[in-house]
Amino acid sequence: MKKPVCVTVTGAAGQISYSLIFRIASGEMLGPDQPLILKLLEIKPALGALRGVKMELEDSAFPLLQDITCTDNAEIAFKDSDIALLVGARPRGKGMERKDLLEANANIFSSQGKAINEVAARKIKILVVGNPANTNALIVANNAPSIDQKQITAMTRLDHNRSLTQLAQKIDRPIAQIKRVIIWGNHSSTQYPDLHHCLVGGTPALPLIDNEWYVNQMIPSVQQRGASIIKARGASSAASASNAAIMHMQSWLHGSKDGDWVSMGVVSDGSYGIEKGLVYSFPCTCADGDWNIVKNLEINMFSRQKMAATETELIEERDAVAHLFT
């Protein structure tokens, strides 16, 4: 029997977690023969609801799930954690931008970064989902100096998946034939869904669509998709966000497949001229539990401007929370 992997989920009584935790416990994220223990973090007022989640986990009789800890203490939740999914944060409501959450959520990520720094496994892999995800990940990175920044990522896989489906529907081709979509930058309305390198059945995607649709419909619709869901559902995306978190971790842990790329918010190494240290979404490949930015892509003037606009927003967000960096 393999040694169990310790997985921490924050915001464990919230909407995303209600889907996410059960998929993790079933083995979907780590693999069908990998035992795990769950450490679930919530704030005190939500511990009652979390007790109910724990009861449902028990009633699911997941063979791989060896233990469940529920706590409102970050040092207990992150103790020896191998994987942390940082979901716990306020979601936005109608009419808000994700960066409007910065003030409400930033302190959560500075204190959790400090706890991770003290007690987590040194090789911990971290995915930040709580918004604004890129800058919250930056806060974690700056409060956990003993953790390699390569182990701290933010989620743009939902935007990546949204782009795949929009294109597949437009050209009436299966999603499985579409490869090398890219999301550049921030998980926000400035993000840049880039189809310039995208392939459909091995041939370039752009000649299959008209530029007007790409520029004036697809890009804004992916940028605004989160807001459209809030308008329709009265609450932010949850099952699709949980699905994207599982896919992000599957790629990172088990590798990206078939020459495809995945979009991940990662600490910039200066690639493509993006300011070093920002958490920016790049096209990545994953292998052996590691990720690497896809290098040397040709970037035209249109893309360059879009990539710079989302970088500018991330610089503004970083400057607004710089007082939280240790």
Residues in contact with ligand LMR by the rule CB under 6 A: 91-92, 98, 131, 158, 226-227, 229, 236-237
Cβ atoms of 140 and 124 within 8 Å: the answer is: no
- Ordered alpha helix ranges (H), 194-300: 211-213, 219-223, 225-233, 239-254
Which of 7, 9, 38, 41 contacts ligand NAD by CB under 6 A?
Answer: 41
Residue 259, judged by CB atoms within 10 A of its CB (0-12, 13-18, 19+), counts as exposed
* In the complex, residue closest to ligand NAD by CB: 14
Q: Which amino acid is at 38?
A: L
Cβ distance to ligand NAD smaller for residue 162 or 200: 162
**Based on CB atoms, which residue is closest to ligand NAD, 46 or 246?**
46
Closer Cβ to ligand LMR, 91 or 185, answer by number:
91
Which backbone phi and psi does 71 adopt, to 5 degrees? -155, 160
- For ligand LMR, give the closer residue by CB, 229 or 294: 229
- In 44-132, alpha helices (H): 47-59, 74-77, 102-119
Nearest to ligand LMR by Cβ — which residue? 226
Residues 59-118 that bind ligand NAD (CB under 6 A): 87-92, 108
Exactly one of 83, 120, 129, 138 binds ligand NAD (CB under 6 A); that residue is 129
Residue 187 interacting with ligand NAD (CB under 6 A): yes
Amino acid at 313: E
Residue 10 interface partner, choices ligand LMR, ligand NAD, none, CB cut-off 5-8 Å depending on type: ligand NAD
Nearest to 33 by CA among 254, 257, 287, 256: 254
Indicate which of ligand LMR, ligand NAD, none lies near residue 229 (CB less than 5 to 8 Å, by partner kind). ligand LMR
Give me 114's structure tokens.
């400090």
Q: Give 237 or 310: the residue with its C-beta nearer to ligand NAD.
A: 237
9: β partners: 40, 85
Stretch that binds ligand NAD, among 9-17, 115-123, 204-212, 286-294 (CB under 6 A): 9-17
What element of type H or E holds 310?
Answer: helix 301-321
Does position 11 bind ligand NAD by CB under 6 A?
Answer: yes
d(CA 119, CA 111): 13
Q: Is 248 a catalytic residue?
A: no
- Spatial CA neighbour of 29 closest among 125, 121, 164: 125
Where does this chain bind ligand NAD (CB under 6 A)? 10-11, 13-16, 41-43, 46, 87-92, 108, 129-131, 133, 155, 158, 187, 236-238, 241
**Residues annotated catalytic, as ranges:** 187
